[in-house]
Structure formats: C-alpha cells, structure tokens
C-alpha cells in the first residue's frame, strides 16, 4: 500500500465512489448500536485509541461483561451513556469497496419518533432490526411506517442475534413470513431480509460459516447495490429553488441554488415561478470553468439570457413542465415540540427556500403509529402524526412529497414549521396535494384601489389595535378616541370585542384555539375596512403576541398601531366593572385571561398607556396626538 | 449516466449550507484556524460565491502560540485582496501572559473559548462557520449543522433543533448566535481526498520533515520557537508530521515518512490512532470532555 502507484490506483477508486445514506431503526435491545459498531469495526473505521477508550468505557458502563461493547462507541452524549439509551440522532461514517456511507443512528422508543423521522428524511434505505428471539414487534411496524412515510423505498429486515437462536433457519423464516404480511398491508414494495449476528459478525460484512442455508447477500453486499435516490432525482423534471442572488457588480447577475431534480444545460428553456416568466439558461458558472451540464444534487450558479426578475424563494423549473403553486394543502404533519399544535395560529413554514406564514386546521385525524388506526384529535402533541389542512398567507411553489415508483420530492414537498416567538422547529410535514378550492379561487383584480378609497376620504388608513387585560379600559379609551377623530372629520369604525362576539364570532368560545380564530377574523375584517380607507379601532384583549403579529403582517407597513392599555392585574381586578374577575376567581369562568390563561404583554407597542397615571380622557388625547403625528 | 461521486455530493451540500447561512444571517463570519479543514472550508466558500468575493470576513482567534508555519500561510491567504481577515487576541490573556506551559487548561479557556466569544460579541457576528466534522469526536456526531447558542454562547444538547432534509431553520432571537458546520458530514479521508483533488494549499507541517522535538507525557512536541522551556532537555531531531494543528506546545506530532498527500493517505489507511489523539485538549475530564467544553461555548 505504501508504493505511490498502488495508492494512486486506490485513490482513483475512491474518487469514483458513490454515497449512500441510510438509517438504522430499532431499540438498544435489538443490538442496533452493536450492528453499527460491527460495520465500523469490520470495515476498519476504528482506530486503536478509539478501541482503547472503548475498552475502558466497556468496563465502566458496558453491558457485555468482559467483552467489547460496540454500542458504547456509537452512543455519544454522556447522559446517554449513563442511561444506556440513545436519545438523539447520531451520524456515522464508513466505506466499502464501492460506496461511502452515512448512517443515521436513531433511537427506537416511541417517544423518539421525531428523531427517527429526522434521520429518515435524508436516507435512501432503512435497516430495520428485529431480535431473532422476539420476532416482528409493534416497534418494527412503527419503524416501517415512519420510514415509508418519509419516502424511503428500500428496506432491509436485519434479523439480529441469530447466535442466540442457534443460527436456525426456521426462526428466520418465521419472522420473514410475519413481516411479509405487514409489508403488504402498508405498501412496502421492496425489502430484503438478512439473518445476522453482531457478536460474530455473520452476514454483516462477511458471510461466516454459521448459516450455510442462507444464500442471499450480506448486509454490506446489499448496501453496495441498492439504487440511489439521487439517480432517480436526476430523471425527473428540472427544479431549482433559488437560494441566493450573486451580484458582485453591475455586469454579473447569477442565481445560485442546489438542483432538486432533473438536469440542465446552457440554452435550455426554463420558467421562473411563481411569476411564470420564461427565459433561457445562458451559462452555468463555476470557478474551474463553465459547466456543460449540471444534474440533481449539484450546487450551481446560473445566468439567464434575459434580464428577468428572480430572487430567493423563487423556483426555476423546466419551462414545459413546471410545478404548481397554491396556498391551501393537505399534508401529513409530525409534531416535534413539547408545546402542542395550536390550530389557527400562524407559524413560519419553510419549504425549499420559501418562507411564509401558515396556519394549520384542526387535524382530520391522528395516526396511531403502532396500530395505524385513525383517531380523532383536536390538536397534535409531541411525536404525534396527523393529517391536516394547511393554509399559507401567499402561494408557494410545491410538489407532492410522495411519488409512486420514484424517489420522493424532498425539496419541494417537505417543509418545517417554526414557532414565531421561540424560533424552535416545532413540526415537519409532507405535502399531499393542493386543495381544489385553492386552485379555483383566483384573486379578483379590483380597479378601484385602496389608495383611491383612502384619497376619497382624505386620510391615511390605520388600525389602532387596543390590547390589554379585561377591564383595563380598552373600550372606554377607544370610544373616546373615536369621538375625537370623528369630531375632526375622520372616517372611522370601532370593532369592539363584546359586540363582535354577539355576531360574526358568536360560534366561538374562549379556548386558546377559539381565541386565535376570533382574532384572525377580526384582523381580516379590520384589514378590509382599512382597504376601504377607514381608520379602524379594535378593542380586544388579544392576549397572544403571535396573533397580534399575524394581524400586523396582514397590513401595509406602518398601518398597524398597537396600543397597549397597561393596567396591572390587581388594578383591573379591583375595578372589575363586569364582575368577571370575581366569577373567574370562583372558578365559574374558565380560561380567563390573567387568572388561568396567560396575557403576553406587547414588547414594542407603538403606544403604551399607563392607566394608573393617565385618565381615560388624557389617554385618548395622547393617542389622537400620536396618530395625527404619524400622518 | 454517471452518478455524482461522494466528494461531489459533499461539496454540493457544503456549498448549500454556506449559501443558506449568507442568505439568512445578518452578519456571518468564517472561523479560520489555518488547519486543513479551514483550508477546505475556505476553498468551498470561494466556489460557493464565485465570481463574487467572499461575502463575509475570516476570523482568526489567535492564541499567539500557533506554529510559525501557520502564521505564514495565514498571511499568504490574507494577501488576497478579495479576502478580509480579522485577527483577534483576548486582551486579558495577552496582558496576563497566559501560556500553555504555566496555565494548563486556562490557556485554552482564555485564548480560545473566551477569545472567540469576545470576538463574536465585539464585531456582532451572528453566524460563525467552523470546520468541525462529525467523525472527529463522539459529541460532535450529534451536533447539528446549524448549532444554536444562547446569549452566553452556550450549547444545550437537549434543545437542539431537528434538522430534516436539507432544510435549515436559521431563525433566532436578537443576541443569539449560531455556529454553522459545513463540513459536518466529511470524514478525515474525504478532506484529504478533496485537498488532493482540488490542489488546496495547506500548512507544510502536515508533511513529514526533520524537526526539533521533545517528548512530554507521551506526546512528541515540536520546539517551534525559543519560548518553549527546555531546562536541561536537548531537542531531538525527528522526522515527524502533524495530523491536526493547534497551539504548538499542545499539538502532538507523529513519526512519519509521508511527504505527499498520497503518502499521508497511505499512512492513514494503516494508522492505528485517530486524529484527535494528538490533541492534549481532549484529554482533560475524560471521555465527556469535549461535550463539556462545547456547553461552555467552545467551538
């Protein structure tokens, strides 16, 4: 190996290796970590110092007595080592003669569904571990379902611990028969069962002699021959989400991104979405010289033949076969946060390079991942999987995630939901299809614009959004403000919480979800009124920041003016004009803001009124002054 | 139809990560430690933003104890007019003369961990690229590509965001920052193959040469300048090279004959120890020491 000629030949071989990503599913007891440890060991990815550390660790935490515990090698974080469980996704790397591998090692327990989905999202193949003594278990079904859900098309059923059943053929075949029935039920088309032993290494990297009756491939042989999703992606129509516009100077304008599917050459005709503009690719620019062609998976920079408008979030597609755009969808959602889904609340939705506000309806049903039963669900909790409708605040370019007989559309079909306040990734999802009503309802172009409406009234529209605790004085102050504005000849309208609840929103209660819908509707009405040129005043407790921000985003910049009527809870409770606090304290009123439901005070309200310092009249004068100053 | 090779796919993924960060972060920076991983990362960045200049500066958090050859390469890299290099030295560490001989773990803590935090705060960088790879160390294997730090730069392994597909949630609150690791999925071998394929300049210390050395606690250390206290110890000339580079008094050399990248790779294939073994820094505190350092804000 030391001779330069040898190493050059070896390196040439390395250069042409492909990359396969796979996931291993199973729990600690199934010998999953041991199997991975074996793969690393038998393909010589372990170094002496790692083995020495492993031996020392084996003595301290090991479960294998004096033997080397390969599992310890794979379980990374110290908390995990102490508990003897894997709690996150860990990535491992090894290589065989033909391919390099990235293994996502994920935990098996039901409470780690999110980790498994994370690991599966980038995998070409899933290795399902089944303990030869226990056979196909509930968790085997769960793992198969989740892998199938994320679009994995190649499965290996690794029947482990064959040494513990004396390498018997019957045990293996019984498990295969059992799994076959289940695979048919959920539509797993392609699976290969392999009997293995982590302890002896049989049928992992080498065949071994213990199971002469088995004539299929070893695990490693199988991994070397499975078709790659990247190759399937390359055969689909061209798609590239624009990531970044490269504009170093006046003379160059390039569009950068990673090709999601298909291939592209200079002079190919492409369509830019959502605008629909058609142009041709001029150059595929690269540091080492322009490319003649680029394929799925490559990160590239293009220039176009025409000066076209194109920016981050747009999708460049094959001109004759573009993807759709829509704003209402059905999707599978995997909830990943401790805080449950709040139907109707606005979340950030990121799909490809598009970022929009999305709301999720109450789920149609939740799937029991163990039995695949459909259950009614008002919301989604951590690790639950549901089918729900999603609406986005503008159209997004997408493709259905799952594709019959081909690789999934991961880039334009997979999305994440992000909490707008904590910025946490709270869910991931896979789009099924656009709802027909979304495709058929087109926005009507209006000839009389909002500017015309406003000009006719001689004023700039605004929404004065009063927020604060019940009894803070919102309605009183808003009334005074409206009187003063009308006296100055302004066209106004006051939407009051109690009044709206008698009409438009009389079907809504006071649960978190209903309160959000209440605010959403009021926001939409306020927006329509502002469109017609009015100065709108609204007086609603509106306790959640996320919903107030949602309304702010419905309006043009500067038209939403948040007025925080700041009255301490004790003071509001002391006034208790409607006797509501007393009822809430007595437990007669549920979900009462400030008592058993939170109030999230504004952090940057345009106007803050301290009612312990100002009278209602003084407050109204201050607000009118501030509003007129803004004109 | 030829498939993309594993190096092509790793390159494309890294470029995607670099661009995603630049598109979404307010003020990104690239941590440049002058090692082979930094050199690969810089090469990828040049490709990602070609033909434009790098849309962010490089930051070298200097400890004043790097090898002289490293400073030479750093200055060559910085001579490129398209590259802006910021060198930051923790003024307290400088004033107190913190060094690896007298101050032990405090050296890394003050120069590197504190120095990095100070530099990021001082310039207001909200995203910092680092060249760490998941194959280096067990706790790195579980860190996200986009790794969030709170206002105090702390990493919480229990609050990591799930990363699905190639979809990264880059949103953060004011004051929070992220460390971004574009080479997460690369192995040591991948890095060497890529250095070879792309003809990337690296510090000559990676290649074997006759160098003055002493042996301390089982590590072969190079006597790179006169600041190394020797007592009556006489440096021994050994033919050595380094698998990773840091502060010279903390970087262990290996005896080697490898003078080309091909020979380095050949030696690696028959080698019996992992690359971090030569790092004194990983040893304090047992097998969980890197995880602990990361929670404290170490890169």
Chain A positions in Cβ-Cβ contact with residue B19 (cut-off 8 Å) = 243-244, 256-257, 299
Q: Is A244 within 8 Å of B19 when comparing Cβ atoms? A: yes
pLDDT band at A145 (very low <50, low <70, confident <90, very high): very high
Instruction: Return the number of other C-beta atoms located less than 10 Å from residue A365's C-beta.
Output: 14
Distance of CA A622 to CAs A530, A540, A630, Å?
22, 20, 13
Instruction: Quote the distance between the C-alpha of residue A555 and its chain's center.
Output: 26
Task: Give domain A4-228's CATH superfamily.
Answer: P-loop containing nucleotide triphosphate hydrolases (3.40.50.300)
**pLDDT recorded at residue B285:** 41
Domain residues of chain A, as ranges?
Answer: 4-228, 236-318, 324-440, 450-629
What tokens were used for A76? 């990374």
Range B45-69 average pLDDT = 96
Q: Cβ A350–B169 below 8 Å, yes or no?
A: yes
Mean pLDDT of B102-120: 91
Angstrom distance (rounded) from CA B46 to CA A153: 36
Domain A450-629 in the same topology as domain A4-228: yes
Report which of A592, A479, A458 is spatially closest to residue A534, judged by C-alpha positions: A458
Instruction: Provide the CATH topology of domain B6-190+288-295.
Output: Rossmann fold (3.40.50)
Neighbours of A8 (CB within 10 A): 12
Determine the Cα–Cα distance for residues B44 and B18; give it in Å rounded to an integer: 8
DSSP H stretches of helix in B25-66: 36-49
A64 vs B124, more confident: B124
Facing A91 at nearest CB: one of B15, B134, B269: B134
Per CB-CB distance under 8 Å, the chain B contacts of A336 are: 162
Alpha carbon of A252: minimum distance to chain B alpha carbons (Å): 8
- In CATH terms, A236-318 corresponds, of 1.10.3720.10, 2.40.30.10, 3.30.70.1280, 2.30.110.10, to 2.40.30.10
Among residues A475, A542, A597, A615, the one annotated as catalytic is: A542
**A231-269, pLDDT tens digit by residue?**
999 999 999 999 999 999 989 999 999 999 999 999 999
Chain B contact for A279, CB < 8 A?
A: no
Please check whether residue A307 is in contact with residue A415, taking contact to mean a CB–CB distance below 8 angstroms: no
* Residue A198 banded pLDDT, cuts 50, 70, 90: confident
CA distance to A57, A174, A331, B14, per residue, from A214 (Å): 35, 14, 42, 41
| Residue of B5, B138, B167 lying closest to A350 (CB–CB) | B167
pLDDT at A75: 52
Confidence at residue A79, expressed as pLDDT on a 0 to 100 scale: 46
Which pLDDT does position B282 carry in this prediction?
47
Model confidence over A80-90: pLDDT tens digits?
Answer: 555 444 457 77
Position A78 pLDDT exceeds 50: no
User: What DSSP element (H or E) covers B33?
Assistant: none
How far apart CA A574 and CA A568 sit, in angstroms, is: 10
Residue of A nearest to B273 (CA): A47
By Cβ distance, the residue of B9, B141, B162 closest to A428 is B162
So what's the architecture of A450-629 in CATH? 3-Layer(aba) Sandwich (3.40)
Instruction: Give the torsion sign (CA, A583, A589, A590, A594).
Output: negative
Q: Residue A382: what pLDDT? A: 92
B273 pLDDT tier (thresholds 50, 70, 90): low
User: How far apart, in whole angstroms, are the C-alpha atoms of residue A75 and residue A105?
Assistant: 9
- pLDDT of A37: 80
Q: How far apart are CA A563 and CA A537, in angstroms?
A: 10
Q: How many CB pairs under 8 A join A and B?
A: 189
Q: Give rounded-to-5 percent helix, strand, coil for chain A.
A: 30, 30, 40
Flag if B23 and A102 touch (Cβ within 8 Å). no
Task: Give catalytic status of residue A542 as yes or no.
Answer: yes
CB–CB contact A286 B50 (8 Å): yes
Shortest Cα distance, chain A CAs vs residue B231, angstroms: 31
Interface with B, mutate which of A425, A429, A545 (most B CBs under 10 A): A425
Q: Which residues of B touch A410 (CB under 8 A)?
A: 165-166
> What CATH topology corresponds to A324-440?
Elongation Factor Tu (Ef-tu); domain 3 (2.40.30)
- Is residue A490 predicted with pLDDT exceeding 50? yes
Q: How far apart are CA A361 and CA A370, in angstroms?
A: 24
Put simply, the answer to whether B166 touches A16 (Cβ < 8 Å) is no
Distance from CA of B227 to the nearest CA of A (A): 31
Q: Which residues of B touch A257 (CB under 8 A)?
A: 19
Helix (H, G, I), strand (E, B) or coil at A501: helix
pLDDT of B1 above 50: no
The two tokens of residue A370 are 């163990």
B69: Cβ–Cβ under 8 A, 6 or more apart, which residues?
B203, B204, B205
Q: Following DSSP, what letter does each residue of A92-156 receive, concatenated?
A: EEEE-SSEEEEEEE---SGGGHHHHHHHHTT-SEEEEEEETTT-S-HHHHHHHHHHHHTT--EEE
Q: Domain extents for chain B?
A: 6-190+288-295, 202-281
Query: Are the C-beta atoms of residues A188 and A469 closer than 8 Å to each other?
Result: no
pLDDT of residue B297: 57
Give tens-digit pLDDT for B181-214. 999 999 999 999 999 999 999 999 999 999 999 9
What are the residues facing A202 on neighbouring strands? A206
Pairing of strands A239-241, A315-318: antiparallel
Q: What's this model's pTM, rounded to 2 decimal places?
A: 0.81
For chain B, the first-to-last Cα distance in angstroms comes to 41
**Contact yes or no for B184 and A91 at CB 8 A:** yes
Burial, B123: exposed, middle or buried (Cβ in 10 Å; 0-12, 13-18, 19+)? middle
Max CA-CA distance within chain A? 97
Q: Write the CB contacts of B246 (distance below 8 Å, at least 6 apart in sequence).
A: B33, B35, B66, B279, B281
Report pLDDT for B276: 54
Instruction: Give the span between the Cα atoms of A45 and A91, in whole angstroms.
Output: 14
- In A, which residues are within 8 Å of B141 by CB distance? 76, 90-92
For the cut 70, the answer to whether the pLDDT of residue A70 exceeds it is no
pLDDT tens for each residue of A270-329: 999 998 899 999 999 999 999 999 999 999 999 999 998 899 999 999 999 999 999 999
Given strand A239-241, what is the order of strands in its sheet?
Answer: A239-241, A315-318, A269-273, A277-285, A299-304, A252-258, A244-249
B280 CB neighbour count, 10 Å cutoff = 21
Please count the other Cβ atoms lying within 10 Å of the Cβ belonging to residue A598: 11
């Amino acid at each position: 190996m030391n001779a330069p000629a040898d190493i050059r030949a070896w390196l040439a071989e390395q250069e042409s290796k492909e990359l396969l990503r796979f996931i291993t599913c199973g729990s600690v007891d199934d010998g999953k970590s041991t199997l991975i440890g074996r793969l690393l060991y038998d393909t010589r990815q372990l170094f002496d110092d790692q083995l020495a550390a492993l031996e020392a660790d084996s003595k301290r935490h090991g479960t294998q007595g004096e033997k080397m515990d390969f599992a310890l090698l794979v379980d990374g974080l110290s908390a995990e080592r102490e508990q003897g469980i894997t709690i996150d996704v860990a990535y491992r790397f090894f290589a065989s003669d033909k391919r390099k591998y990235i293994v996502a090692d994920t935990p098996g327990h039901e409470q780690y569904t999110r980790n498994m989905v994370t690991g599966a999202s980038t995998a070409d193949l899933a290795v399902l571990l089944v303990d030869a003594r226990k056979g196909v278990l509930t968790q085997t079904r769960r793992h198969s379902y989740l892998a199938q859900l994320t679009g994995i098309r190649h499965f290996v059923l690794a029947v482990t611990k064959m040494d513990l059943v004396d390498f018997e053929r019957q045990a293996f075949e019984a498990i295969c028969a059992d799994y076959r029935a289940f695979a048919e039920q959920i539509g797993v088309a392609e699976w290969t069962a392999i009997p293995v032993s982590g302890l002896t290494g049989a049928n992992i990297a080498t065949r071994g002699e213990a199971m002469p009756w088995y004539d299929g491939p070893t695990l490693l042989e199988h991994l070397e021959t499975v078709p790659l999703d990247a190759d399937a992606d390359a055969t689909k129509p061209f798609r590239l989400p624009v990531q970044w516009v490269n504009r170093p100077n006046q003379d160059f304008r390039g569009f950068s991104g990673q090709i999601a599917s298909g291939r592209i050459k200079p002079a190919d005709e492409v369509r830019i979405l959502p605008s629909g503009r058609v142009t041709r690719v001029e150059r595929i620019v690269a540091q080492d010289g322009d490319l003649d062609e680029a394929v799925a998976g490559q990160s590239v920079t293009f220039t176009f033949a025409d000066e076209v408008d194109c920016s981050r979030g747009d999708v460049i597609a094959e001109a004759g076969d573009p993807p759709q755009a829509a704003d209402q969808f059905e999707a599978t959602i995997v909830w990943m946060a401790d805080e449950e889904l709040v139907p109707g609340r606005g979340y950030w939705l990121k799909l490809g390079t598009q970022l929009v506000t999305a709301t999720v309806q109450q789920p149609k049903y939740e799937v029991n991942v163990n039995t695949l039963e459909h259950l009614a669900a008002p919301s989604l909790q951590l690790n639950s999987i549901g089918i729900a409708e999603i609406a986005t605040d503008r159209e997004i370019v997408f493709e259905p995630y799952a594709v019959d007989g081909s690789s999934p559309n991961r880039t334009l079909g997979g999305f994440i939901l992000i909490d707008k306040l904590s910025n946490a990734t709270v869910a991931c999802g896979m789009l099924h299809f656009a709802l027909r009503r979304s495709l058929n309802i087109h926005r009507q172009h209006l000839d009389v614009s909002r500017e015309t409406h406003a000009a006719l009234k001689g004023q700039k529209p605004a929404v004065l959004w009063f927020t604060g605790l019940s009894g803070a004085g919102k309605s009183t102050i808003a009334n005074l403000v409206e009187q003063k504005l009308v006296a100055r000849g302004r066209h106004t309208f006051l939407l009051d919480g109690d009044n709206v609840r008698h009409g438009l929103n009389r079907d809504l209660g006071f649960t978190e979800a209903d309160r959000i819908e209440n605010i959403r509707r009021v926001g939409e009405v306020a927006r329509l009124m502002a469109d017609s040129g009015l100065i709108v005043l609204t007086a609603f407790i509106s306790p959640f920041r996320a919903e107030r921000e949602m309304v702010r985003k419905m309006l043009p910049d500067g038209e939403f003016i948040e007025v925080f009527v700041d009255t301490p809870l004790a003071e509001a409770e002391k006034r208790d004009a409607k006797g509501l606090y007393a009822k809430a304290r007595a437990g007669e009123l549920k979900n009462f803001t400030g008592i058993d439901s939170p109030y999230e005070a504004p952090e940057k309200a345009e106007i803050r009124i301290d009612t312990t310092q100002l009278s209602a009249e003084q407050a109204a004068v201050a607000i009118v002054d501030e509003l007129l100053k803004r004109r | 139809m030829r498939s993309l090779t594993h190096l092509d796919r790793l390159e494309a993924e890294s470029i995607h990560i670099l661009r995603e960060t630049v598109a979404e972060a307010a003020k990104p920076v690239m941590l440049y430690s002058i090692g082979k991983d930094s050199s690969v990362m810089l090469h990828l960045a040049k490709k990602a933003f070609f033909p434009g200049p790098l849309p962010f500066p490089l930051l070298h958090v200097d400890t004043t104890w790097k090898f002289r050859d490293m400073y030479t390469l750093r200055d060559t890299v910085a001579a490129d007019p398209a590259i802006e290099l910021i060198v930051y030295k923790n003024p307290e560490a400088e004033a107190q003369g913190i060094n690896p001989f007298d101050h032990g773990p405090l050296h890394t803590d003050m120069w590197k961990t504190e120095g990095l935090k100070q530099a990021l705060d001082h310039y207001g960088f909200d995203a910092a690229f680092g060249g760490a790879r998941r194959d280096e160390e067990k706790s790195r294997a579980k860190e996200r590509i986009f790794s969030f730090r709170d206002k105090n730069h702390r990493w919480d392994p229990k609050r990591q965001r799930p990363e699905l597909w190639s979809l990264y949630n880059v949103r953060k609150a004011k004051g929070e920052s992220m460390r971004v690791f574009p080479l997460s999925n690369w192995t040591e071998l991948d890095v060497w193959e890529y250095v070879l394929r792309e003809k990337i300049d690296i510090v000559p210390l990676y290649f074997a040469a006759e160098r003055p050395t002493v042996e301390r606690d089982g590590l072969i250390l190079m006597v790179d300048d006169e600041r190394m206290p020797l007592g009556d110890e006489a440096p021994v000339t050994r033919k050595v090279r380094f698998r990773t580079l840091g502060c010279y008094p903390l970087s262990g050399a290996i005896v080697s004959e490898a003078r080309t990248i091909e020979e380095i790779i050949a030696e690696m294939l028959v080698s019996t120890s992992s690359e971090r073994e030569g790092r004194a820094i990983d040893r304090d505190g047992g097998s969980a020491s890197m995880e602990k350092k990361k929670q404290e804000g170490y890169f």
